[in-house]
Amino acid sequence: MIEIIDSPFDPHARLADYQRSLQSVGGYGAEASFTGYMRDHNDGERVTGMHLEYYPGMTERHLQSIADEAARRWELLEVLILHRVGDIAVGEAIVLVAAWSAHRADAFEACRFMMEDLKSRAPFWKKEQLDPGERWVQGNTPGYK
């Protein structure tokens, strides 16, 4: 499941809800997840919030391609990618990525791959609110090695 979200969400509740809905109950032996939160600092400056933009259609296709690539590389039963857009306050969840598989190694590696690809290549644009002012975040972080 891939979802772009424009309001705050509880990543733990969403993960639990999704896991309860899985058709492969008993088929998976591992679940690995990562949640990214809005922090109050970046590049040595205090950050008070962020506005995150995306390109509808293109961004969802990219997130789906990340999930598809992970499924080709590892034996996965399920994948979940949720990503916030809009105005995000310090402490709020921005992203949740999870992978389910029969074995932990596949779940761990796939989860990390998806998160690293998302952070390095997905079409999102971030404008940080600073104390004082604002700035567009330049570039993405390095990806999976």
pTM of the model: 0.91
The answer to whether 103 and 51 are in contact (CB under 8 A) is no
The answer to whether 120 and 80 are in contact (CB under 8 A) is no
- Reported as a single tens digit per residue, the pLDDT across 4-28 is 999 999 999 999 999 888 866 677 8
How many residues are listed for the chain in this entry? Answer: 145
CATH number at 2-21+28-39+56-123: 3.90.1170.40
The residue ranges of every structural domain in the chain are 2-21+28-39+56-123
pLDDT of residue 141: 62
- Reported as a single tens digit per residue, the pLDDT across 23-82 is 666 778 999 999 999 999 998 899 999 999 999 999 999 999 999 999 999 999 999 999
Residue type, 76: L
Radius of gyration of the chain (CA): 16
